[in-house]
Structure 1
Amino acid sequence: MEDIDFYLEHAQELMDKAISHTNAELAKIRAGKAMPSMLDGVEVEYYGAMTPLNQVASVSTPDARTISVKPFEKKIIPDVERAIINANLGLNPQNDGELIRINIPPLTEERRLGLVKQAKAETENGKISVRNARKEVMDALKKLLKDGAPEDAIKGAEEEVQKITDEHTKKLDALLETKEKDIMTI
């Protein structure tokens, strides 16, 4: 019985990770508003090591259309600017010697639809991860059945795994719906 509980917890854990990963990926998709999280994937070469931008500079949003990046050391401003350009985020940083400003252009309808498509793809990846977790746990439960576990306990566990899968799929759908509204709101 404790094997079954272990697998149920394992399923819950894997599916929770899939949701948090999907949530993080959706946060990277910009919705027309400037957000510091848009630069989360940017890494700067700092003393020979690749370092996340938020560890070498403060990133803020003074208004809805601007991101401000103020490096802790002035001498790395060109490196930060180059890192932002090389990250292929479609952003154009402007350096004034003190800080870097990034103006976020308003999204066109075509771009918004492209971002919705991207959000749907990320959500589908999350659903695939959830289904893979379900398959992994179901296979493990079938193996337990072959090893002599009670059939009714395994059936109950399989139903529980399916219930957990359905809950996580609904959470992913809700994340997508929220992101879609966010993107399509002008």
Structure 2
Amino acid sequence: MSAEELDLDDLERRMKGAISVLKTELSGLRTGRASVNLLEPISVEAYGQTLPISQVGTVSVPEPRMLSIQVWDKSMVKAVEKAIRESNIGINPVVDGQLLRLPIPELNEERRQEMVKIAHSYSESAKVSVRHVRRDGMDMCKKAEKDGMSEDDMRVYQDEIQELTNSRIIEIDKMLESKQAEIMTV
């Protein structure tokens, strides 16, 4: 393996993928304010398959502490209601014809602490993913050295991989800090 075969762009893309997953997971954490992202992880059994809620109705935020879902197909209202109730997000939908209203309850201190713990676990998983990508990059460097890469070139690549890893870990920490502040704001 030569220096040309060490693809730092691929490593960076994989690390950004881990951060993208973290953004999605954090956006689904409830903060006491209504957000359409809260319903993203919820899937509905519809038409013989599993679909995200956004594909069976229109999700909107009519008030700061209220979500609404205008279900397009009348026969899907019960399935959407069931999916929300079973999702463990702590919201009980109110059905009004084809419209589901989701009042967002206040978060008490204990529930906020739980949300922060969940955010920490999400960020730790992202850090582990980034570190796995780092390990793969370091393994490629070692293999390249065995295949004839100079020790100086290997050291340069290892430093670049470590720098990339450090920047992604800092980015994850900043995202966690921001989400934690958002959750703890009353």
Distance 2:79 2:22 in 1: 30
Q: Deviations over 1:4-55 (max 9, x none)?
A: 2x1x112111111111111111111111101111111121222211111101
Identify the residue that residue 107 of structure 2 maps to in structure 1.
107
Q: Deviations over 1:92-115 (max 9, x none)?
A: 011011300011100001111111
The runs of 5 or more residues in structure 2 that have no matched partner are none
Distance 1:55 1:137 in 2: 39
Count of residues in correspondence between the two structures: 184
State which drifts further: 170-179 or 44-53: 44-53
**TM-score, normalisation: structure 2:** 0.96
Distance 1:44 1:11 in 2: 35
Identify the residue that residue 158 of structure 1 maps to in structure 2.
158
- The answer to whether residue 90 in structure 2 is matched with residue 124 in structure 1 is no
- The answer to whether residue 43 in structure 2 is matched with residue 3 in structure 1 is no
Structure 1: 4+ residue segments shifted above 3 A:
none
**Aligned partner letter, 2:11:** A
- The answer to whether residue 49 in structure 2 is matched with residue 46 in structure 1 is no
Identify the residue that residue 15 of structure 1 maps to in structure 2.
15
Identify the residue that residue 25 of structure 2 maps to in structure 1.
25
What pairs up with 1:56-95 in 2 under 5 angstroms?
A: 56-95=56-95
**TM-score, normalisation: structure 1:** 0.96
Q: Deviations over 1:121-170 (max 9, x none)?
A: 11111111111110111011101101111111111000000000010011
Distance 1:142 1:39 in 2: 44
Q: Deviations over 1:48-86 (max 9, x none)?
A: 111111011000111111110110122211111111112
SS in 1 for 2:149: coil
Instruction: Please say if residues 72 and 98 of structure 2, whose CA atoms lie closer than 8 Å, have aligned partners that are also in contact.
Output: no
Instruction: Please say if residues 61 and 68 of structure 2, whose CA atoms lie closer than 8 Å, have aligned partners that are also in contact.
Output: yes
Identify the residue that residue 143 of structure 1 maps to in structure 2.
143
Identify the residue that residue 37 of structure 2 maps to in structure 1.
37
The CA RMSD measured in Å over matched residues stands at 1.0
**Percentage identity across aligned positions?**
39
State which drifts further: 43-52 or 104-113: 43-52
